[in-house]
Amino acid sequence: MLPYVAFYLFLVFAASLKVSRGVNLLFLGVFGIALLLFMGTRYWVGCDYFGYLMRFDRIDYSGDISAYALMEEPGFHLLNFLVHSLDLEYVWLIFFSSLIIVVCMIRFSLLYPRSLMVLALFFPVLVVQLGMSGLRQAIAVSFLMLSLVYFCKGSKLGTAVVILLATTFHQSAAMFLPIAFLAGRDVSAKKLLIIFLLASPLVALLLGDRLSVYQDRYIDQIYGEVSSGGALIRFILLLIPCAMFFWKQSQMKERYPDLFPMMNLFMLITIALIPVAVMSSIALHRIIYYVMPVSILVFLYASPMVFSRRFVRVAIYAPAIIYGVYMLSWFSTSRHANICYVPYQSELMISGPGYRSNF
């Protein structure tokens, strides 16, 4: 647990320093590289490690590139193909995947002046729980972040193209394709509902056979009733900034007009997730990761508005404290956390003939 807590505290400490924009960008680059090495060189860490190692070793990637471009979720297959064609080891698949994730995260974090604080709040859930244990969806979520940069610029085409790219790594990202039609427009619950209804046939087409898989797994639960208590706790992390946003909605719109449509959109989506939380916490578990980046951004922007000027420092650190307490609680109480993440090991620390000795 200590390496994770230490990394988080270093991020929060660096983010809390009052520095110029140039130094902030320097910090962002340095910690971005550190984060890439932390994620990208992990060795037998994360619940996805063995599964993706099996795919990497057992799927034949010696064929023509066109064969993999036509497979389901081709982006990840093409990434595997690239690593194999360069005659590289499995760790490079994790490294290149982490590189995509970190670059997209950094670009999204620039939507907030203290960009490093965004990266810090990403660490407990989006980096550790998703990026180090759900590689394909982590890449998809990261591309969604990148698409939201285009969304804030009012670019429908840019938003749509990047979301489509996200679906090549995890088809569940297709459910967010309708938001591209809302880029550059005021967002309301009515518009959101109409757009999603009109675009639902396209989303169903993109999901293909996955649609029936998701229905069987998350709605009908034909494989047995499964729940995720952790998802409900993470949903509370989304509801806190959501409540702040709607409390200070008029001020948020006045101060941050360029970001407000995106914030409003995702806070409406957060409210729409309440029935999902009641029906299937497992489905909620998947969707939360897509909503959390904007939720964190809202948390950072709205917190100073909720607290009075006398408590401005509390406002700045409140999000970091809440996410820090969540991470500590998770590592202290979750069997899953201790099985998959402890101890932390890196390829940078492993050498000699013992490589893959656990395989």
pLDDT digits (tens, 9 = 90+) for 236-255: 999 999 999 999 999 999 99
- Write down the pLDDT at residue 208: 53
Q: Are 124 and 330 in contact (CB under 8 A)?
A: yes
Q: Which of 358, 347, 355, 338 is closest to 4 using CA atoms? A: 338
The per-residue pLDDT for range 271-293, each reduced to its tens digit, is 988 888 877 777 788 889 999 99
Q: Residue 201: is it exposed, middle or buried by C-beta count within 10 angstroms (0-12/13-18/19+)?
A: exposed
The per-residue pLDDT for range 38-82, each reduced to its tens digit, is 999 999 999 889 999 999 988 888 788 888 888 888 999 999 999
Token pair belonging to 220: 């009908």
Q: What is d(CA 257, CA 353) in angstroms, rounded to the nearest whole number?
A: 57
Percent of the chain with pLDDT over 70: 87
Q: What is d(CA 77, CA 118) in angstroms, rounded to the nearest whole number?
A: 30
User: What would the mean pLDDT of 199-214 be, rounded to a whole number?
Assistant: 52
* Position 219 pLDDT exceeds 60: no
* CA dist 39 → 90, 126, 234, 320 (Å): 14, 11, 21, 20
* Position 222 pLDDT exceeds 50: no
Q: What is d(CA 268, CA 284) in angstroms, rounded to the nearest whole number?
A: 15
Q: Are 319 and 121 in contact (CB under 8 A)?
A: yes
Token pair belonging to 119: 């990266």
User: What would the mean pLDDT of 221-229 be, rounded to a whole number?
Assistant: 45
Question: Which residue has 């956390």 as its token pair?
Answer: 337
Q: What is d(CA 186, CA 45) in angstroms, rounded to the nearest whole number?
A: 43
Q: In this structure, what are the phi and psi dihedrals at residue 291, rounded to the nearest 5 degrees? A: -90, -25
What predicted TM-score, i.e. pTM, was given to this entire model? 0.89
* Segment among 36-40, 194-198, 327-331, 346-350 with least mean pLDDT: 194-198
Q: Which of 186, 180, 185 is closest to 199 using CA atoms? A: 180
